[in-house]
Amino acid sequence: MSKRKQRDDDNDVFSRPPPVSSNGVHSNMDLSLLEALEKSQSAVEVLDQRTLKKLVLSFERRLKDNIEARLKYPNQPDRFADSELELHEDLQRLKILAGGPELYPDLVNLNAIPSILNLLAHDNTDIAIDVVQLLQDLTDPDNDEEEDSHEHARVLVDALVENNVLELLVQNLHRLSDTDAAADPDEAAAVYSTLATVENLIEVKPAVAELVCERTKLLKWLLGRIKLREFDSNKQYASEILAILLQSSTANQRRVGQMNGVDVVLQAVAMYKSKDPKSSDEEEMLENLFDCLCCLLMPLENKERFLKAEGVELMIIIMKQKKSAYGSAIRALDFAMTKYPPACERFVDVLGLKTAFAAFMGKIPMSKKNKKERYQEELEERIVSLIASLFGGILRGSRRERLLSKFVENECEKIDRLMELYMRYSDRVKTETERLDSIELDDLEMDEDEKYNRRLESGLYTLQLIAVILGHLWCTEHPQMRARIELLLKQQKLTKKDVRDILQEYHDNIGDLDGPEEKERAQAKIQRFISAL
Instruction: Say if 391 falls within a structural domain.
Output: no
Instruction: Classify residue 340: in a domain, yes or no.
Output: no
pLDDT band, residue 167 (cuts 50/70/90): very high
Mean pLDDT computed over every residue of the chain: 87
Give whole-number Cα distances, 192 to 19, 50, 138, 233, 503, in Å: 19, 33, 15, 8, 50
Q: Can you tell me whether residue 20 is helix, strand or coil?
A: strand
Domain assignment present for 315: no
pLDDT tens, 179-235? 554 467 878 888 999 999 999 999 999 999 999 999 999 999 999 999 999 998 999
More confident residue, 114 or 324: 114
Question: Can you count the helices (H) and strands (E) in the chain?
Answer: 30, 0
341-361 pLDDT, tens per residue? 999 999 999 999 999 999 999
Any domain includes 58: yes
Total domains in the chain come to 2
Q: Choose the final residue of a domain: 159, 192, 216.
A: 216
Quick check: is 192 in a domain? yes
Lowest mean pLDDT among 12-21, 264-273, 338-347, 410-419: 12-21
Chain-centroid distance of CA 530 in Å reads: 39
Count Cβ atoms below 10 Å from residue 24 Cβ, excluding itself.
7
Q: Is residue 327 part of a domain?
A: no
For residue 357, tell me if it sits in a domain: no
Q: How confident is the model at residue 74 (pLDDT cuts 50, 70, 90)?
A: confident
Contacts of 54 (CB under 8 A, 6+ apart): none
Confidence label for 510 from pLDDT (cuts 50, 70 and 90): confident
What average pLDDT score do residues 420-427 get? 94
CATH of the domain at 57: 1.25.10.10
Asked if the model's pLDDT at residue 467 lies above 90, the reply is: yes
Task: Note the pLDDT of residue 370.
Answer: 54
pLDDT of 183 reads: 60
Task: Calculate mean pLDDT across residues 437-466.
Answer: 81
In a domain, 264, yes or no: no
Coil, helix or strand for 26?
Answer: strand
pLDDT confidence of residue 21? 46
Which comes out higher in pLDDT, residue 490 or 447? 490
Residue at which a domain ends, from 174, 200, 216: 216
Measured between alpha carbons, how far is 222 from 232 in angstroms, rounded to an integer? Answer: 13
**pLDDT of res. 178:** 65
Dist. CA 49–CA 217, nearest whole Å: 37
Mean pLDDT throughout 395-401?
A: 93
Confidence of residue 324 (pLDDT cuts 50, 70, 90): confident
What is the DSSP code (8-state) at residue 229? S
Distance CA 333, CA 250 (A): 19
Number of Cβ atoms within 10 Å of the Cβ of 372: 11
Its domain, for residue 516, covers 409-532
Which of 195, 216, 237 corresponds to the end of one domain? Answer: 216
> Alpha helices of 322-372 — where are they, by DSSP H?
326-337, 341-349, 352-360
Task: Name the pLDDT band for 434 (thresholds 50, 70, 90).
Answer: confident
- What is the spatial distance between Cα 223 and Cα 215, in angstroms, rounded to a whole number? 16
What is the per-residue pLDDT for 369? 58
d(CA 116, CA 108): 11
